[in-house]
Amino acid sequence: MSSTADTLRRSGVEPYPDPRRRPGLRSGPLSGVRVADFCWMGVGACATRLLADFGAQVIRIEDRNRLDMPRRLPIYKGEARTYGEEDANPDPNKGGLFNNYNRNKLGVTINMRDPRGRELADRLIAASSVVTENFAPGVMERWGLTYERLRALSPEVIYGRMSGFGHTGPHAEHRSYGPVVQAVSGLSHISGLPGEEPSGWGLSYMDNEAAFFNAAALMMAIYSRNTTGKGSEIDVSAVEAGINLLGPLLLDVSVNGRSTRGPDFPPGNRLEDPNAAPHGVYPCLGEDRWIAIAVFNDAEWLALRTAMGEPAWAAEARFASQTARYANQDELDSRMAGWTAGQDRFVLMHRLQAAGVRAGAVQTAEDLNETDPQIAHRGTFFEMDHPVIGEARFEGTPIRFSSVVQDNWRSAPLLGEDNGYVFQNLLGLTADEVETLTAEGVL
């Protein structure tokens, strides 16, 4: 499959017709760090995106014959499809998910099944100080890319390895994606409503959660190398990252002998301690529109009663105290839902907040993107241009520094867009050699 950049290169045309896409010096605390990035999907690509956002030169290595899933998923600008519905004939440069995961990176293609491709990968690794991968365990070993081999190529290299189960132990060879990790780590078992089957998490949540552990590990290793001069091998297990989210429940099970599923657990939207009631999400005006309301004491309950106009049911003895309300949550939630239904969630939120009641409209993606004033003020979302899909919106990093600015220099690379720059400028190949290797399927 040929990319736009390759077509231009073979015709002798400037491969970066838009000078804004031509690689240059990066800014940020990680400038000067070069990453040979074999990662794909979210758990790896998200991790290296954070490095790229803050100045690292991340070179994304791809295979034309095995496109990254985010390139294949038809999450296209202006087209609505099911998340898991693949395009039978995808445009590899059109996928919005790939564009989001791989902003601020360079992109090259290498056929690792060809010895010449593996030799080029070796040369790229030798020119890099960090190597990352999140393939199924064994893939890098089949290519001979062990930590020992990488150290021979780049003596102070940091080798960041990211997998579902880690690279040691009886499950090391198992493959996984976010939903599998969520199930194995125990997260799925504690999700959902009491008395119902586990509901799952709706997306590959742990792909993104584990990515931040990966990014933190890489930055710690870079800091360590800056102080000791020594590289390191990093082995991050997404399952273990998931277990890190279970601390209070693990304590409850081990100390109190409690089961993590039962007629009253998981609690759904309810809170076990303190005994808040009402504490839930209630329907509002419109289709699938909701508001969250939480009351923690009698004073807040009185404020809510006043805001509701003192309905007769709110004065009943079974709702007279926090303990009584907590014991009668089913009936209380039903009454609350009857009162909130038909009211605008944002108008109601502001009215309750003004009365001293904790309340928040349940926001949709559209709300976050277009109307939330706090998100707009913080500049959470930003736009960059893309040669194929045009202006695209990205979520930013939820961190603000007084002296560091996220270096958003380019949207994600087209397939093989930076082959000429990387293989000629960084590795010293001639234009003819790149042309030949491309024609012969090595690049």
**Residues that are catalytic:** 207
The single-letter code of the amino acid at 380 is T
| Cα 408 from Cα 397, distance rounded (Å) | 11
Residue 363, token pair as written in the block: 């926001």
With CA atoms as reference, report the closest residue to 38 among 181, 139, 152. 139
* H or E element at residue 237: strand 232-237
Residue 114, token pair as written in the block: 């060809």
With CA atoms as reference, report the closest residue to 99 among 380, 421, 366, 392. 392
Instruction: Characterise 387 by phi-psi region: left (phi > 0), alpha (psi -120 to 50), beta (else).
Output: alpha
Residue 340, token pair as written in the block: 């909130």
Give, rounded to a whole angstrom, the gap between the first and last alpha carbons of the chain: 10
Residue 142, CA distances (Å) to 112, 118, 152 in order: 10, 11, 17
Residue 376, CA distances (Å) to 309, 346, 373, 396 in order: 34, 17, 5, 12
| Cα 331 from Cα 335, distance rounded (Å) | 6
Residue 1, CA distances (Å) to 89, 90, 108, 212, 415 in order: 11, 11, 13, 32, 9
Residue 396, token pair as written in the block: 């930013």
| Cα 419 from Cα 94, distance rounded (Å) | 19
With CA atoms as reference, report the closest residue to 189 among 235, 130, 131, 253. 253
What is the bridge-based pairing of β-strands 106-109 and 57-62? parallel
How many residues make up the chain in this entry?
443
**Residue 257, Cβ neighbours under 10 Å: how many?**
7
> What distance separates the 2 farthest-apart alpha carbons in the chain?
87
Q: What is the DSSP letter of 313?
A: G
| Cα 23 from Cα 185, distance rounded (Å) | 40
Residue 382, token pair as written in the block: 């930003």
| Cα 406 from Cα 55, distance rounded (Å) | 8
Beta strand residue intervals within 320-408, DSSP E: 358-361, 381-384, 392-395
